[in-house]
Amino acid sequence: MNIQEREKYNWMVLASINDRQLIDQLEEGKIIRRFVDDQWICVTKNDNKVYSFKDKCPHAGASFFRGSCEDGKVVCPVHHFGFNLNTGRGHGLYLENYPVILHEDQYLIGFEKNIFGF
């Protein structure tokens, strides 16, 4: 991600230096949850890349925490709908997903800025 793309986001700590091993050692396809900016966020790895997304299925409102990650998709544990980890698209719906970067030994998550730059 280049500097111009990074400026589109407000970056918050997803995993600090003290707890980044939770993500470093995360098994492929396993989903963990982190509480960031007053909301639950799910984190998973696919092909050694870290992905994060809202912990709420856009179809059923269920938590993805008990779901799975298969073939580049996160799968809802309730109705088994799959959502693409890169785009959030699936079954005509959209799952909010967020970029993750490793910066100064901590994982940061990006929340898109609003029209006012916040």
pLDDT in tens, 7-30: 899 999 999 999 999 999 999 999
Residue at 51 is within a domain: yes
pTM of the model: 0.90
Residue at 76 is within a domain: yes
Overall number of domains in the chain: 1
For residue 68, what are the domain limits? Answer: 3-112
Residue at 19 is within a domain: yes
Report which DSSP code applies to 64. Answer: S
Per-residue pLDDT tens for 55-96? 999 988 999 998 999 899 999 999 999 999 999 999 999 999
Distance in angstroms (rounded) separating the CA atoms of residues 20 and 14:
8
Structure tokens at 70: 């298969």
Residue at 117 is within a domain: no
